[in-house]
Amino acid sequence: MHIIVCLKQVPNTTQVRINPETNTLVRDGVESVMNPFDENALEMALQLKEKHPGTRVTALTMGPMQAADMLKEAVGRGADEVVLLCDRAFAGSDTWATSYALSTAIRRLEPADLVLFGKQAIDGDTAQVGPGVADWLGIPCITYAQGIEVAGETAVVERAFEDGYEKLEVTLPCALTVLKEANVPRMASLRGKMAAKKLAIEPMTAEASGADPAKLGLAASPTRVMKIFSPPPKTGGVKWEGEEPVVVARRLVDMLRERNVI
């Protein structure tokens, strides 16, 4: 089985802060990490590899050269091969152009039985690239996957819904977007780290991917960012401090009853 896992390097958005004086984003000291949901996609691939001997896992990303660090991390955890799709021609791609570019790189690789994605990336939060790539490739896509069993040409996948889950059966090849619930991502092994150290990553250019230049980057992206702004700073209401618990509890319950909400 050949599994391609699409990864994205993202700023750790939980570390991003707003400077209260200028109301702008403070990025200083914010590290770049593998998108947390993509870690679960990679882990799903690695667990399938352990279960099904002969399986190979390819980690694919589109991004700046700096994203090679993340691919090395993927090798450290057990990915067999990596592809870094990197070219100024991809700059400014929205989800339409990104999913097209990734699909062209995937077509260059050995045919995949599974193409895995994280549920969404924590910087853009669109959750659109996985289904988009699947559509460019013409394969079915199951979103919000929390578990998978593969038997021969068939996979049984658990897809989460708002209030439960469904068991779905699909004939491979297929794309999945993976939830955090699917597994607990492993750390890189010592042996893996050694392998990653030796790895020299040559980027795949837009030309090498065979992509139609007219479908790449900002010019080909249907959506445009018109403006970026900081949400207005919020100020709270009343604060009750330094009073006996029983006093504030009564006052709160009285207030809720007065407002007729309980």
> CA dist 78 to 5, 82, 109, 223, Å?
12, 11, 19, 36
Closest separation in Å from C-beta 107 to other proteins: 15
- CA 142/CA 175 separation, integer angstroms: 6
Nearer to other proteins, 95 or 209 (CB): 95
Window contacting other proteins (CB under 8 A); options: 42-50, 52-60, 188-196, 228-236: 228-236
Residue 144 touching other proteins (CB under 8 A): yes
Nearer to other proteins, 81 or 96 (CB): 96
Enumerate residues 51-80 that contact other proteins by CB under 8 A: 63-64
Do 130 and 143 touch, CB atoms closer than 8 A? yes
Residue among 187, 194, 199, 248 that touches other proteins (CB under 8 A): 248
Residue 131 touching other proteins (CB under 8 A): yes
Residue 151 touching other proteins (CB under 8 A): no
Binding footprint of other proteins, residue count (CB under 8 A): 102
SS3 179: coil
Residue 147 touching other proteins (CB under 8 A): no
Residue 164 touching other proteins (CB under 8 A): yes
Residue among 151, 190, 200, 226 that touches other proteins (CB under 8 A): 226
* AA identity, residue 246: V
Tokens representing 9? 């390097």
Closest separation in Å from C-beta 50 to other proteins: 23
Nearest alpha carbon to residue 125 among 186, 35, 185, 208:
35
Residue among 81, 181, 188, 195 that touches other proteins (CB under 8 A): 181
Do 123 and 30 touch, CB atoms closer than 8 A? no
Residue 128 touching other proteins (CB under 8 A): yes
Enumerate residues 184-223 that contact other proteins by CB under 8 A: 217-223
Residue 29 touching other proteins (CB under 8 A): no
Residue among 180, 186, 188, 193 that touches other proteins (CB under 8 A): 180
Write the DSSP assignment of 66-118 as a string of letters.
GGHHHHHHHHHHT-SEEEEE--GGGTT--HHHHHHHHHHHHHHSSPPSEEEEE
Closest separation in Å from C-beta 223 to other proteins: 4
Do 147 and 41 touch, CB atoms closer than 8 A? no
Enumerate residues 85-124 that contact other proteins by CB under 8 A: 86-88, 90-92, 94-96, 99, 119-120, 122-124
Nearer to other proteins, 167 or 191 (CB): 167
Nearest alpha carbon to residue 75 among 41, 109, 42:
42
Give the CA diameter of the chain: 70
Nearest alpha carbon to residue 78 among 108, 51, 112:
51
Tokens representing 152? 């021969």
